Amino acid sequence: MCVIAGYAGHRQAAPLLLEMLERVQYFDGGMATGIATVHEGKLYTVKVLGDVRTLRETTDALNFPGTTGIIHTRPWGDFQSHAHPFTDEAEELAFCENGTYFQVLAPEFAAESERVMGDYLRRGVTIKSAVDRPDDPNYALGYLSLPNGQTYHNAEVYAQTIGEAVRHSPAATLADDLAAATSQALSRFPAELVTLSVHARLPGTVTVGRVTRPMAVGYGKGETYLSTTPIAFPVEVQRGPITFLPAASVSQITPRGLTVTGLGIDGVRVEEPDYRVGAVVRAHLDALLTGRRDAPLSMEEFDSSAWHPAVWREPLIDCRIVSPMGHMKPAVAVVYEALWSFYREGRLGFRNVETPGGTVTKFWLD
C-alpha cells in the first residue's frame, strides 16, 4: 500500500501536492517519496528516501513549476531508485502507483514483465530502477530479474510501456492515446493497483488507471484534485462533491473536472462491492476503533479476520493472471471509504506515532 495524490488546475501544483500528502502520508507511507510536475513541455521530477519533509528540505520540489502534477509515498524505503514516480526512456511520462503484486506474482506475470524489461535492456534502454539484488530471502515480491542479474521495480514496466506507446502520438490524440495505453498496460500486467501519470506534452491532464485500489476526486473552482482519500484534500474541497472512481476503469482529470474514458479492463472482471459490504466493514471498524483515543490502531492493525470472510466468500475480482494463493479484492477501498464517512461525521481521530519501524498514523473513533 502507498498514498498518492494528483492535481490539475490554475495554481502551482507542487505546494498543493506536498500539502495534500503531508496530511495523510503516514496512513501508509512516509519512507520513500517523490513528485512530478509538467511545465512548458518539460517534466520536473525528484524522489528521496524519506517523507515529505525530507523532500522539501533536500530538494527543490516546492519550487517546481507547472499547474499539473502527481505525488507518491510508500511505506518502506529500500532504494531511492525504487521510489515513485518512474519515468519512461524519453523522460516525458511520469508514472506512480498504489497497490500490491502479492496476488499476481504468478509465473505468467513475472515472465512477461521480465521479458519486456529484458528486451528494453538489450535495446540499450536505461532501466532506472535496476539495482544489484540484495542477499535477502525476503527480497522477492515486486522486484524481478533482468538478464544482467540485477533486479528492478515492477512499476517501471508500466512507465516504459505506456511512454513508448505514446512516444509519437500527435498532440491532437495524445490524451486519448495515453488513456488507451494505460488500459492496455493494466490489461497486460493486471494487479491490485491504482495508477497516476502525467505527460510532458499534455499539460493540464492527469491520467488515472484503477483496478482495485482507492482513488477519490475533489473539485475546486477551475481545479481538480486526486487522492487515495479525500482527507488529503483542502478543507474547502472536502466540503464539496467527492467522486470515488469505479474499479477497472481509466479516467482523466483536467482543471475542468473528471472524464471517465473507459469502463472495463480486458482480462479483469470486476464486481463492485455493494452497500452491504460497506455496512459490514463500517460496523467492524466502528466496534474496533470506538473509544481507542488512548490506544489507537494503525492501518496494519485493522483486523480484517472478523469481516473479510463474511463479505468476500467468493472473489469479487477475477484476473487472467493471478497467483494460486488468492484473488484480488477491493478491501482497501472499502476501508478508506468507511474512514472517510467517519471523518465527515466528525468522529475520526488520528495522530502520528513513532514506532520501531518508523512513523505511522494511528486512528480512533469518538
pLDDT of 212 > 80? The answer is yes
Q: Average pLDDT for residues 145-154, to the nearest whole number?
A: 90
pLDDT band of 108, cuts 50, 70, 90: confident
Higher pLDDT, 79 or 298: 298
* pLDDT of res. 314: 55
Q: Average pLDDT for residues 95-116, to the nearest whole number?
A: 80
pLDDT of 307 > 80? The answer is no
Q: For residues 46-83, b (16+ Cβ closer than 10 Å) or e, as one string?
A: bbbbbbbebbbeebebeebebbbbbbbbbbebbbebbb
DSSP 85: P
* pLDDT of res. 58: 98
Q: Average pLDDT for residues 169-183, to the nearest whole number?
A: 97
pLDDT in tens, 36-50: 999 999 999 999 999
Q: Average pLDDT for residues 189-193, to the nearest whole number?
A: 86
Domain boundaries, the chain: 3-266, 274-315+330-365
pLDDT in tens, 18-29: 999 999 999 999
Q: Hey, what amino acid is at 33?
A: T
* 31 neighbors 77 (Cβ within 8 angstroms): yes
pLDDT in tens, 314-327: 555 555 555 454 45
**Helix or strand or coil: residue 215?**
coil
| Sequence-separated (6 or more) residues with CB below 8 Å from residue 157 | 113, 116, 117, 185, 189
* 257 neighbors 224 (Cβ within 8 angstroms): yes
pLDDT of 121 > 70? The answer is yes
* 323 neighbors 100 (Cβ within 8 angstroms): no
Residue with cell 482513488: 215
pLDDT of 59 > 70? The answer is yes
DSSP codes, 15-41: HHHHHHHHHHGGGS--SEEEEEEEETT
Q: 3-266 maps to which CATH number? A: 3.60.20.10
* pLDDT of res. 321: 56
Percent of the chain with pLDDT over 70: 89
For residue 213, what are the CA distances in angstroms to 43, 163, 210?
Answer: 26, 22, 7
Q: 274-315+330-365 maps to which CATH number? A: 1.10.10.10
* 216 neighbors 289 (Cβ within 8 angstroms): no
* pLDDT of res. 141: 47
